[in-house]
Amino acid sequence: MRALVTGASGYIGSRLVAALLADDTDVVVGSRTPSNLRTFDYYDSVTAVSLDVTDQQSCADAFAESGPIDVAYYLVHAIGESDYRAQDRRSAEQFAAAAARAGVQRIVYLGGFVPDDDHLSEHLASRADVGEALTVDGVELVWLRAAIVMGAGSTSYEMLRYLADRLPVLPLPSWLSEPVQPIAVDDVLHYLVASADAETVPAGSYDIGGPDVVPYRDLVFAYVEAAGLQRIGVPVPFVPTSLAGKVIGLIIPVPGGLAEDLVGSLHNTMTTSESRIRDLVPDPPRGLTTIADAMARSVRGMVGEPPGVCALKDPLRLANTDATWSGGDALGVRRRGVAASSDRTWGLIEALGGRRLLASKPVAAAVRTNLDVVAGVNRRVTSAVRRLTDTEEA
């Protein structure tokens, strides 16, 4: 099997290259600047070609240089850039046309869920556009559709990690009650590798997801619990995703445009609509990764010097080639809060029912009243919770 991987410098693409090499696949990687891939520990084991999917001639030249390709993985997108939806569609059309002319048998594309919703976010609508653009005569398409991908270094994980690390009081907009079915990156790789085999996975679109379906807010608190943090969740109704995305882009180091586009998708229900692929591809021997396991492994994977992707014993661990903004926190507040950081405070909160109680409107209102200054007000929070305790006992 000879595979071409686009997006080989990205979070999933780099890990896919490592997984394919471990599966004895002959791998070709495409990049606008192939020399930049020398920082990856897979470089000496692959064939690197120049490929810019936004340029029609570059697509044709890349397939000519790479030689016969059995399967091409399409993992590139321009999310976060201006007018990225039109750019992504045009790039996918050019790539698919070049693949067909080069005699590529199959394209495997990882996109997002496409909920049955008339109000798809720009991000989800763009991912659907790409899937349609990659559908061309003469080339089989396997379109894998996923929601949030969990793992240290992934954009979604890093966004919720930074927020939970930096904010002792976590705002909970109403749209965080929408259900989500995340999938760990090791399971994504499991399906991507299997999808190269036409005998195992026929052409078509398949939803892929993990074993758990939870509200978005529970995904945040799954990280909080795995990291051993102490955090309060406070409902904040009437906050649109557009505003939340702008604010989040300002308070965490993830690129602002990327944060805005991803948060804009959170009002959509993000769960699988079918699970046909599990009838075709057996679950990994350990089973699909649960949210709790994924968060625990991701947190452990933040410790120590990150290795290269081929040296990762666990793909949920941070790699040394992941985005420069991943894995750190310049504010130095990881593992410890400012407000609500004492054992006594959290003990009182748990006695009141923990996050379930704090998500209820009466308690949330009382907590908000006493959080007039978030940073450095542990004494005020403790006093507020004591008053709540007295009320409960009365």
Chunk the chain into consecutive blocks of 10 residues (it has 394) and report each block's average pLDDT, rounded to whole numbers: 95 97 97 94 97 94 96 80 74 94 96 69 68 91 94 91 88 88 97 97 96 93 92 87 81 72 69 94 96 96 92 96 81 37 40 41 40 37 41 40
Residues with Cβ within 8 Å of 70's Cβ and at least 6 positions away in sequence, in order, are 1, 2, 3, 104, 105, 106, 196
Listed in order, strand segments (DSSP E) in the chain are 2-5, 26-31, 47-50, 71-74, 106-112, 140-146, 149-150, 169-172, 179-180, 183-184, 204-207, 214-215, 232-235
pLDDT of the residue at 265: 65
Provide the pairing of β-strand 214-215 with 179-180.
antiparallel
Tell me if residue 107 falls in helix, strand or coil. Answer: strand
Tell me if residue 139 falls in helix, strand or coil. Answer: coil
Task: For residue 109, report the phi and psi dihedrals to the nearest 5 degrees.
Answer: -120, 130
Please report where in the chains the tokens 């793909």 appear, as a residue.
315
Give me 180's structure tokens.
Answer: 């989500």
- Cα–Cα distances in angstroms (integers) from residue 21 to residues 273, 291, 376, in the given order: 32, 27, 50
8 Å CB contact between 84 and 22: no
Residues with Cβ within 8 Å of 197's Cβ and at least 6 positions away in sequence, in order, are none
CA 328 to chain centre: 17
Tell me if residue 319 falls in helix, strand or coil. Answer: coil
pLDDT of the residue at 252: 80
Q: How far is Cα 76 from Cα 17, in angstroms, rounded to an integer? A: 14
